[in-house]
């Protein structure tokens, strides 16, 4: 099966504060997501929300049978931790990091790409996170 592009984002208002996650799946060369989802976490940090977005996205990709993934995130910390460039120092992030690594091992091929916040697909998932937070009063 061909590679899909997954864009993820996490948001926290207050850091820690009310937090949400979002992901969107895109086929190569297409501008509209064919799978998208978002959720509310509760009170969490932005980094926690970023990791939750990746976990939810990878679980969905595996459930749908996708094994070739290009994962895109605007979180420098998350990308660099997953690539092994940064250590995971936070005790509340360590279990999430381990879960992501476990899910990545179930894929045939994957790439992890850092994106700028100005990327139009990053803007989609960012908007999804904010819409989810706007629902919570």
Is the pLDDT at 1 greater than 60, yes or no?
A: no
* Predicted local confidence at residue 29, as pLDDT: 87
- Whole-number mean pLDDT of the chain? 96
User: Alpha helix locations (H) across the chain?
Assistant: 46-63, 76-82, 94-105, 120-135
Domains contained in the chain, CATH given: 4-135 (3.30.420.10)
Banded pLDDT at 2 (limits 50, 70, 90): low
Closest residue by Cα to residue 40 from 54, 24, 20: 20
Closest residue by Cα to residue 94 from 18, 86, 63: 86
Are the beta carbons of 103 and 71 closer than 8 angstroms? no
pLDDT digits (tens, 9 = 90+) for 46-93: 999 999 999 999 999 999 999 999 999 999 999 999 999 999 999 999
pTM given for the model: 0.97
* Predicted local confidence at residue 3, as pLDDT: 87
* Predicted local confidence at residue 66, as pLDDT: 95
């Amino acid at each position: 099966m061909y590679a899909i592009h997954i864009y993820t984002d996490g948001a926290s208002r207050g850091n820690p504060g009310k937090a949400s996650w979002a992901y969107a799946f895109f086929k190569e060369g297409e501008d509209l997501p064919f799978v998208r989802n978002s959720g509310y976490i509760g009170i969490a940090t932005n980094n926690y929300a970023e990791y939750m977005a990746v976990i939810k996205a990878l679980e969905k990709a595996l459930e749908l049978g996708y094994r070739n993934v290009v994962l895109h995130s605007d979180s420098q910390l998350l990308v660099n931790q997953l690539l092994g460039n940064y250590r995971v120092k936070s005790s509340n992030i360590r279990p999430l990091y381990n879960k992501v690594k476990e899910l990545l091992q179930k894929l045939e091929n994957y790439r992890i790409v850092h994106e700028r916040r100005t990327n139009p697909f990053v803007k989609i998932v960012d908007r999804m996170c904010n819409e989810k937070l706007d629902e919570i009063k």
